[in-house]
């Protein structure tokens, strides 16, 4: 395994662990969830991490719930006993129908005006995740297109949604994650066998935890 | 394009006791919870028979543990209480979709509590993976053999976890119990980010290796 591949694997495991514990920012969470739907090995690892969570939960020391908690909950379940669980509807359009659900919900149709042409055979589209959630973009690259060499300002995690590309570090196909470190420079070329579409998240430090959690974490540590 | 991965199931796999408390330095002995795959049975009863007594037992065991888990994550006390209650309500609502050959009650409940917490803390709501979604339920076949295999895997995880080198175990506990991202573990412990990542990888490799051991014999 070359150095980049082993680096990619390390980042991937760290991301999977962060996903399992719920520590990822929203864009990375979506990225990892999509990856999980496309990669069997990672799916297995995630199952293991969820099991691990179950073990740790089960073995935690209990902290009493408030008095009347059970009555409270029983009352709530009695109230909704007549309700049926609803099946969520999937939206279907040309592109997103082919993709796993987590990412499909964010992908605009290819005719949508949010797609911008930024070079020959290269289109990008910003994905809005609300405030302070980091930067995320979709890219569409025509078959065989070479992207001019570029550097990255922050660490960038890229998930291949369809097609593939090759750069100095290797070849990446559907479901693969490539990681570009801050300051890293590369020159990807889309594979010839079809349009390449990727989802790229600029890896910030922003996390989902609310302000109260953050402050308490600081105090505790 | 192959996009649906049947192996990925959020509700996948498990429970079974065996105290980790010594490994975690949290004190008390958990022996009284041994031999407890009956949590799985109770969850099945809740789903199949809408059994409120079984639910109450699950509630009394897991409710306080969800709360304690959330407290460790630094979540505010009253919010922990709320999320724990909401998670248990969700356990009731979703119990029909629980399949013991896919996951143990504690893992299933862990994923529910995890999702509930994310839902509550995140400013922007996004539908989280639906445990009842057929896409997340790989094989509907229920067999005793699979359930045993699944429980065995659980034991292996406990065993592997106890035998992790300290510096690797620390990464895992910081992640689950303090909800630190790998970046924060690095920032706050002074261990370089690269080292944190490689320790996480080593730890997961060990856990994966334990699960892959052929001694599982349950494969036919």
Question: Closest approach of chain B CAs to the CA of A21, in angstroms?
Answer: 6
Is residue A221's pLDDT more than 70?
A: no
- Picking from A21, A98, A214, the nearest residue to B3 by CB comes out as A98
Q: What's the rounded mean pLDDT across residues A182-200?
A: 89
Give which of A47, A87, A197 to mutate to test B binding, by max B Cβ within 10 Å. A47
This complex has an ipTM of: 0.77
A146 and A165 Cβ atoms separated by less than 8 Å: no
| Residue A108, CB-side half-sphere exposure with 13 Å CA sphere | 17
pLDDT tens-digit map of A113-165: 999 998 899 999 998 876 655 689 999 999 999 987 777 777 889 999 999 99
Is residue B24's pLDDT more than 90?
A: no
Overall domain count for chain B? 2
Contact B26 A61 (CB under 8 A): yes
Cβ-based contacts of A159 with chain B (< 8 Å): none
Which string of DSSP letters, residue by residue, matches A102-131?
HHHTTPPPTTSTT-EEEETTEEEEEE--ST
Q: In sequence order, which residues have a C-beta less than 8 Å from that of residue B215 and are 6 or more positions away?
A: none
Q: Are residues B41 and B116 in the same domain?
A: yes
Identify the closest residue of chain A to B208 by CA–CA distance.
A45
Element (H, E) at B69: helix B52-72
Q: Does domain A1-55+89-206 have CATH number 2.60.40.10?
A: no
As to burial, measured by CB atoms within 10 angstroms (0-12 exposed, 13-18 middle, 19+ buried), residue A76 is middle
Give the pLDDT confidence score for residue B25 in this predicted structure: 35
Give the pLDDT confidence score for residue A171 in this predicted structure: 93
The rounded distance, in Å, linking the Cα atoms of A42 and A16 is: 8
Q: What's the rounded mean pLDDT across residues B18-47?
A: 56
Contact B111 A50 (CB under 8 A): yes
Identify the closest residue of chain B to A35 by CA–CA distance.
B3
| Residue predicted with more confidence, B33 or A199 | A199
Q: Are residues B91 and B194 in the same domain?
A: no
The pair of three-digit structure tokens given for residue B130, joined into one six-digit string? 């639906």
Cβ-based contacts of B26 with chain A (< 8 Å): 60-61
Q: Is B199 on the interface with A (CB under 8 A)?
A: no
Give the pLDDT confidence score for residue A133 in this predicted structure: 58
Q: Are residues B198 and B131 in the same domain?
A: no
Instruction: Kindly provide the residue ranges of all beta strands, DSSP E only, lying in B124-197, ordered along the sequence.
Output: none
Weakest mean pLDDT among B8-17, B40-49, B167-176: B8-17
The rounded distance, in Å, linking the Cα atoms of B187 and B185 is: 6
Contact A47 B8 (CB under 8 A): yes
Contact A55 B114 (CB under 8 A): no
As to burial, measured by CB atoms within 10 angstroms (0-12 exposed, 13-18 middle, 19+ buried), residue B23 is middle
The pair of three-digit structure tokens given for residue B73, joined into one six-digit string? 């994550």
The rounded distance, in Å, linking the Cα atoms of B11 and A43 is: 12
Cβ-based contacts of B184 with chain A (< 8 Å): 23, 207
The rounded distance, in Å, linking the Cα atoms of A26 and A8 is: 20
Question: Closest approach of chain B CAs to the CA of A53, in angstroms?
Answer: 6
As to burial, measured by CB atoms within 10 angstroms (0-12 exposed, 13-18 middle, 19+ buried), residue B188 is middle
Q: What's the rounded mean pLDDT across residues A92-115?
A: 74
Q: Are residues B126 and B172 in the same domain?
A: no
Q: Do the domain assignments include residue B157?
A: no
Q: Are residues B101 and B19 in the same domain?
A: yes
Q: Chain-wide mean pLDDT for chain A?
A: 80
As to burial, measured by CB atoms within 10 angstroms (0-12 exposed, 13-18 middle, 19+ buried), residue A98 is middle
The pair of three-digit structure tokens given for residue A99, joined into one six-digit string? 């993709």
Residue A31's CB: how many other CB atoms inside 10 A? 25
Cβ-based contacts of A45 with chain B (< 8 Å): 204, 208
Element (H, E) at B150: helix B144-162
Question: Closest approach of chain B CAs to the CA of A36, in angstroms?
Answer: 7
Residue B189's CB: how many other CB atoms inside 10 A? 16
A21-35, A201-215, B136-150 — which one is most confidently predicted on average? A21-35
Q: Which backbone phi and psi does A122 adopt, to 5 degrees?
A: -130, 125
Q: Do the domain assignments include residue B218?
A: no
Q: Are residues B131 and B170 in the same domain?
A: no
Give the pLDDT confidence score for residue A213 in this predicted structure: 34
What residues form DSSP beta bridges with A190? Answer: A165
- Picking from B74, B124, B182, the nearest residue to A17 by CB comes out as B182
Q: Is B209 on the interface with A (CB under 8 A)?
A: no
Weakest mean pLDDT among A111-115, B52-56, B142-146: B142-146
A189 and A171 Cβ atoms separated by less than 8 Å: no
Nearest partner of A201 among A112, A102, A127, judged by Cα: A127
Contact A88 B175 (CB under 8 A): no
Give the pLDDT confidence score for residue B195 in this predicted structure: 92
Q: What domain range includes position B22? A: 1-143
Q: Are residues B45 and B129 in the same domain?
A: yes
Give which of A56, A71, A182 to mutate to test B binding, by max B Cβ within 10 Å. A56
| Residue predicted with more confidence, B207 or B74 | B207
CATH number at residue B27: 1.10.1740.10
Q: Are residues B79 and B185 in the same domain?
A: no
Is residue B41's pLDDT more than 80?
A: yes
Give the pLDDT confidence score for residue B118 in this predicted structure: 85
The CA-based diameter of chain A, rounded to the nearest angstrom, is: 65
The rounded distance, in Å, linking the Cα atoms of A32 and A23 is: 12
pLDDT tens-digit map of B66-92: 999 888 877 788 888 999 999 999 999
Nearest partner of B158 among A59, A79, A84, A113, judged by Cα: A59
Q: Are residues B45 and B139 in the same domain?
A: yes
Q: Which backbone phi and psi does B86 adopt, to 5 degrees?
A: -65, -40
Nearest partner of B160 among B38, B43, B14, B20, judged by Cα: B20
Q: Is B198 on the interface with A (CB under 8 A)?
A: yes
Give the pLDDT confidence score for residue A97 in this predicted structure: 52
Q: Is B161 on the interface with A (CB under 8 A)?
A: yes
Q: Are residues B35 and B113 in the same domain?
A: yes
CATH number at residue B200: 1.10.10.10
The pair of three-digit structure tokens given for residue A23, joined into one six-digit string? 């520590």
Question: Closest approach of chain A CAs to the CA of B218, in angstroms?
Answer: 18
Element (H, E) at B211: helix B193-212
Residue A83's CB: how many other CB atoms inside 10 A? 8
Do the strands A135-141 and A116-119 form a parallel or antiparallel pair, or are they unpaired? unpaired
């Amino acid at each position: 395994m070359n150095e980049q591949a082993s680096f990619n694997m390390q980042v991937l495991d760290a991301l999977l662990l962060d996903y399992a514990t719920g520590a990822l920012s929203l864009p990375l969470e979506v990225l990892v969830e999509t990856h999980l739907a496309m990669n069997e090995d990672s799916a297995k690892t995630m199952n293991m991490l969820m099991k691990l969570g179950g073990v740790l939960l089960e073995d935690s020391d209990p902290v009493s719930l408030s008095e009347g908690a059970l009555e409270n909950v029983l009352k709530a379940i009695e109230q909704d006993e007549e309700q049926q669980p609803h099946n969520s509807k999937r939206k279907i359009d040309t592109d997103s129908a082919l993709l796993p659900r987590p990412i499909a919900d964010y992908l605009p149709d290819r005719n949508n005006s949010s797609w911008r042409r930024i070079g020959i055979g290269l289109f990008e589209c910003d994905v809005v995740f609300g405030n302070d959630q980091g930067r995320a973009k979709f890219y569409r690259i025509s078959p065989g297109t070479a992207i001019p060499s570029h550097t990255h300002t922050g660490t960038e995690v890229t998930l291949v949604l369809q097609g593939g590309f090759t750069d100095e570090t290797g070849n990446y196909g559907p479901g693969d994650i490539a990681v570009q470190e801050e300051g890293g420079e590369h020159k990807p070329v889309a594979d010839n066998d079809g349009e390449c579409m990727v989802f790229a998240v600029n890896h910030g430090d922003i996390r989902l935890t609310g302000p109260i959690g953050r402050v308490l974490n600081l105090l505790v540590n | 394009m192959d996009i649906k991965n049947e192996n990925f199931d959020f509700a996948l796999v498990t429970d079974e006791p065996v105290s980790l408390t010594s490994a975690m330095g949290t004190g008390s002995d958990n022996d009284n919870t041994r031999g407890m795959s009956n949590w799985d049975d109770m969850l099945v009863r809740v789903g199949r028979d809408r059994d409120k007594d079984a639910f109450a037992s699950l509630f009394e065991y897991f409710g306080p543990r969800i709360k304690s888990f959330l407290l460790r994550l630094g979540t505010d006390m009253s919010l922990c209480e709320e999320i724990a209650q909401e998670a248990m309500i969700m356990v009731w609502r979703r119990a029909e979709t629980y399949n013991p050959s896919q996951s143990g009650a504690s893992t299933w409940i862990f994923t529910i509590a995890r999702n509930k917490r994310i839902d509550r803390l995140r400013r922007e709501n996004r539908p989280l993976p639906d445990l009842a979604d057929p896409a997340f339920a790989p094989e509907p076949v229920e067999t005793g053999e699979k359930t045993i295999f699944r429980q065995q895997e659980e034991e292996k995880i406990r065993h592997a976890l106890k035998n992790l080198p300290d510096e690797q175990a620390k990464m895992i506990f910081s992640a689950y119990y303090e909800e630190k991202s790998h970046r924060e573990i690095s920032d706050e412990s002074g261990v370089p980010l690269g080292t944190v990542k490689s320790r996480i990888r080593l730890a997961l490799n060990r856990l994966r290796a334990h699960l892959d051991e052929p001694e599982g014999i349950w494969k036919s």
